[in-house]
Amino acid sequence: MTTYWTPAELSILLHCHYAGERYEPFKAPTTQKALTRLEHEGLIEKDTLPKPAQPEDARPFNTHRTTSKGKAFVAMLCSTPIPEEQTKWADPRTGEPV
Protein backbone atom coordinates (compact mmCIF):
# COMPACT_ATOMS: atom_id res chain seq x y z
CA MET A 1 0.00 0.00 0.00
CA THR A 2 1.32 3.42 -0.96
CA THR A 3 1.10 6.17 1.62
CA TYR A 4 1.02 9.77 0.47
CA TRP A 5 2.13 12.68 2.60
CA THR A 6 0.88 16.23 2.70
CA PRO A 7 3.39 19.09 2.47
CA ALA A 8 2.40 20.07 6.03
CA GLU A 9 3.19 16.58 7.35
CA LEU A 10 6.56 16.57 5.62
CA SER A 11 7.33 20.05 6.95
CA ILE A 12 6.54 18.96 10.52
CA LEU A 13 8.58 15.76 10.14
CA LEU A 14 11.60 17.73 8.90
CA HIS A 15 11.13 20.29 11.68
CA CYS A 16 11.10 17.52 14.32
CA HIS A 17 14.25 16.09 12.76
CA TYR A 18 16.32 19.27 12.36
CA ALA A 19 15.03 21.85 14.86
CA GLY A 20 15.51 21.93 18.58
CA GLU A 21 12.38 24.01 19.06
CA ARG A 22 8.70 23.28 19.11
CA TYR A 23 6.88 23.64 15.79
CA GLU A 24 5.53 27.19 15.90
CA PRO A 25 1.83 26.53 15.15
CA PHE A 26 1.95 23.65 17.68
CA LYS A 27 -1.64 23.99 18.92
CA ALA A 28 -3.25 24.28 15.47
CA PRO A 29 -5.65 21.37 14.75
CA THR A 30 -3.85 20.47 11.52
CA THR A 31 -0.53 20.32 13.35
CA GLN A 32 -1.98 18.06 16.03
CA LYS A 33 -3.48 15.79 13.35
CA ALA A 34 -0.13 15.59 11.55
CA LEU A 35 1.76 14.86 14.78
CA THR A 36 -0.71 12.07 15.58
CA ARG A 37 -0.27 10.51 12.13
CA LEU A 38 3.53 10.79 12.20
CA GLU A 39 3.56 9.20 15.67
CA HIS A 40 1.18 6.43 14.56
CA GLU A 41 3.41 5.66 11.57
CA GLY A 42 6.41 5.40 13.92
CA LEU A 43 8.29 8.33 12.36
CA ILE A 44 8.36 10.55 15.47
CA GLU A 45 8.09 10.06 19.22
CA LYS A 46 7.53 12.36 22.15
CA ASP A 47 10.75 13.96 23.31
CA THR A 48 11.63 12.89 26.84
CA LEU A 49 14.83 14.91 27.22
CA PRO A 50 15.04 16.92 30.46
CA LYS A 51 14.04 20.57 30.24
CA PRO A 52 16.07 23.43 31.78
CA ALA A 53 15.54 23.96 35.49
CA GLN A 54 15.61 27.74 35.28
CA PRO A 55 12.65 29.54 33.65
CA GLU A 56 14.97 32.13 32.10
CA ASP A 57 16.66 29.27 30.20
CA ALA A 58 13.33 28.02 28.98
CA ARG A 59 12.40 28.17 25.32
CA PRO A 60 9.73 26.33 23.37
CA PHE A 61 11.47 22.96 23.26
CA ASN A 62 10.61 20.44 20.62
CA THR A 63 7.93 18.09 21.90
CA HIS A 64 8.77 15.37 19.37
CA ARG A 65 11.86 13.93 17.70
CA THR A 66 12.37 11.52 14.84
CA THR A 67 12.73 7.80 15.50
CA SER A 68 15.23 5.63 13.63
CA LYS A 69 12.44 4.95 11.09
CA GLY A 70 11.83 8.70 10.80
CA LYS A 71 15.55 9.36 10.32
CA ALA A 72 15.64 6.75 7.54
CA PHE A 73 12.62 8.39 5.87
CA VAL A 74 14.25 11.84 6.09
CA ALA A 75 17.40 10.37 4.51
CA MET A 76 15.26 8.99 1.67
CA LEU A 77 13.59 12.37 1.17
CA CYS A 78 16.93 14.15 1.10
CA SER A 79 18.30 11.75 -1.52
CA THR A 80 15.31 12.15 -3.86
CA PRO A 81 16.51 13.62 -7.15
CA ILE A 82 14.89 16.60 -8.84
CA PRO A 83 12.60 15.55 -11.73
CA GLU A 84 14.11 15.76 -15.20
CA GLU A 85 12.39 17.42 -18.11
CA GLN A 86 11.71 15.13 -21.04
CA THR A 87 8.67 15.59 -23.25
CA LYS A 88 6.91 15.93 -19.90
CA TRP A 89 8.28 15.93 -16.37
CA ALA A 90 9.36 12.45 -15.25
CA ASP A 91 10.66 10.76 -12.14
CA PRO A 92 14.31 9.98 -13.01
CA ARG A 93 14.23 6.82 -10.89
CA THR A 94 11.50 5.19 -12.95
CA GLY A 95 11.06 7.30 -16.07
CA GLU A 96 7.35 7.57 -15.21
CA PRO A 97 5.67 10.88 -16.08
CA VAL A 98 4.68 13.01 -13.10
Give the CATH number for residue 60. Answer: 1.10.10.10
Please report the beta strands in 1-98, taking only residues with DSSP state E, as ranges in sequence order: 44-46, 64-66, 84-85, 89-90
Question: Which domain covers residue 78, as residue numbers?
Answer: 7-90
- Residues in CB range of 17: below 8 A, 6 or more apart: 65, 66, 70, 71, 74
> Is 28 a member of any domain?
yes
Mean pLDDT, residues 28-38:
88
> Is 96 a member of any domain?
no
> Is 54 a member of any domain?
yes
Q: pTM for the whole thing? A: 0.70
In this prediction, residue 19 has a pLDDT band, given cuts at 50, 70 and 90, of: confident
> Is 13 a member of any domain?
yes
Query: What is the pLDDT at residue 3?
Result: 76
> Is 44 a member of any domain?
yes
For the ranges 4-18, 61-75, 78-92, which has the lowest average pLDDT?
78-92
> Is 79 a member of any domain?
yes
Percent of the chain with pLDDT over 90: 37
Judge contact between 21 and 59, C-beta under 8 A. Answer: yes
* Count of domains for the chain: 1
